Amino acid sequence: MSVPSDSIGPASVRRVMGLESEFGIAVPGEPYANPMQLSGLVVTTYARAHGHRATHGAWDYSDESPLVDARGFALPRASAHPSQLTDEDDPSLANVVLGNGARFYVDHAHPEYSSPEVTTPRDALIWDRAGDLVARDVVARLADRGPGVNLYKNNTDGKGSSYGTHENYQVTRDTPFDRIVAQLLPFFVARQVMCGAGRVGIGRESERAGYQISSRADFFEAEVGLETTFKRPIINTRDEPHADAERWRRLHVIIGDANLAEVAGLLKVGATSLVLALIERDDLAVELMPRYPIAALQQISHDPSCRALIELRDGRSLTAVQVLWAYFEAASAMVAKGGGADEATAEVLTHWERVLTLLERDPMLARSDIDWVAKLALLDQYRERDGLEWDDPRLRAIDIQWADVRAERGLHYRLESAGRITRLTTEDEVRAAMTTPPTDTRAWARGHAVTTYPHEVISASWDSLVIDQPARGGVARVTLPDPLSGSKDALAAHLGPDRSVEAFVDALAEHA
């Protein structure tokens, strides 16, 4: 039975969403450097340079529930892997809430930038890329300390380690989770041809020579599950909404690669948001489930020609591009039936159709738009010039250098600056997003609070602020269960340069 359309909003890419990126970290010439200490150094260096407090107590863990499963149960704490206990306050780890509403912290031995909540794919792109500038800023600051620390926006070191790039989407609570699994899983298996980051090497430890579409596909072992760092599932079931749990769930997506190419990044979140709209409405009539999803995920990744045929449970065999065409056609029909596309939705649909057309004709035609294609085109140039085979270590070094966050060293950024990779955002808007929060979500209240009242904000989270009120002699904890509350428009009439922290707390409590 379809969900009534008035309960889920218009057929659009617009929804509350956000991205998380763990950065690869290294010290040149020191392969055994402690990544936990280095990551802590990265976070605290950036925080101190920009007037933020980076302590373990800066994050409010009160409402976190990482062991609640969307399938209707909670994993007993005694049975959980330590990596799953993300609600534990570890005094050895640095944590900071940035003025743009983002979180910058140490997670599983990596610095992680978690972007603020936004409502469009383009804004997701802007504030995610602002995190790249945060990483670049701190690398420059540490450059004069010994050999320096460097960061890479990638997801594997090519030697068996993988770290995450996660997406988050607000989805209606009354959408059955089994429908989400059945209709989203085939899309996740196939979408890597649009948004894979590419990788030199086949297998977790690159034990076979070659090149593949996704940097993460070889690390997935399950179709559905609660874990994120082991037994990785295509569909993650963590039910931690960071919002009103009766109305919303937060779909925590761990299958994606870190994107540097902006068209690929836009399609990753934009197409996924449209597919979620299809699922919320129960508007996807076609059956697309692979017979063997994990095998299909890796089969697609290992075939840069995009010609691999995947057997479906209904007996058909389709390529990943054909599967994505089916989703595109369903999404286009849904939008047309809903009265047409708004600007944000039209942008995603235009790029989605164009990229699928290019991939269908010849994947190399998409080299200006898609990470894995752009990287492959560059690697092929080196291979042809120097006669290199895929097992040559120089190709692996190029793969790592591709994701270097430094503008002068990162191969992606050098190609982009030369006009060979499509740019959708501007440098000015991305740089502004380093310090300015989105205005249309509660991220604005969070960013405004830590910037305007840096000494009074004790801690924060996605849905709370804990604030000292000196004039009242007490501490207030304000919850923000609606991600669209706490916006600039909602609070502007109650704030000003002469407003006290107590007035800010009152405005939050009354209007957020």
The residues that are catalytic are 107
Tokens 């340079």 belong to residue: 49
Beta bridge partners of 106: 111
Tokens read off for 440: 């249309």
Beta bridge partners of 311: 317
Contact 415, 429 (CB under 8 A): no
Tokens read off for 111: 């610095």
Contact 267, 119 (CB under 8 A): no
- What 3-state class would DSSP assign to 110? strand
Beta bridge partners of 25: 151
* Cα 492 off chain centre by: 29
Name which of 444, 425, 430 is nearest 489 in CA terms: 444
CA distance 366 to 308: 18
Question: How far from 156 is each of 163, 201, 379, CA to CA, in Å?
Answer: 6, 11, 18
CA distance 127 to 124: 6
DSSP 316: -
CA distance 243 to 80: 24
Q: Could you tell me which residues come within 8 angstroms of residue 359 by beta carbon, excluding any fewer than 6 positions away? A: 193, 194, 306, 321, 365, 366, 370
- Strand 232-236 versus strand 474-479 pairing type: unpaired
Contact 136, 404 (CB under 8 A): no
Tokens read off for 469: 């009120």
Cβ-based neighbour number of residue 170 at 10 Å: 23
Contact 188, 296 (CB under 8 A): no
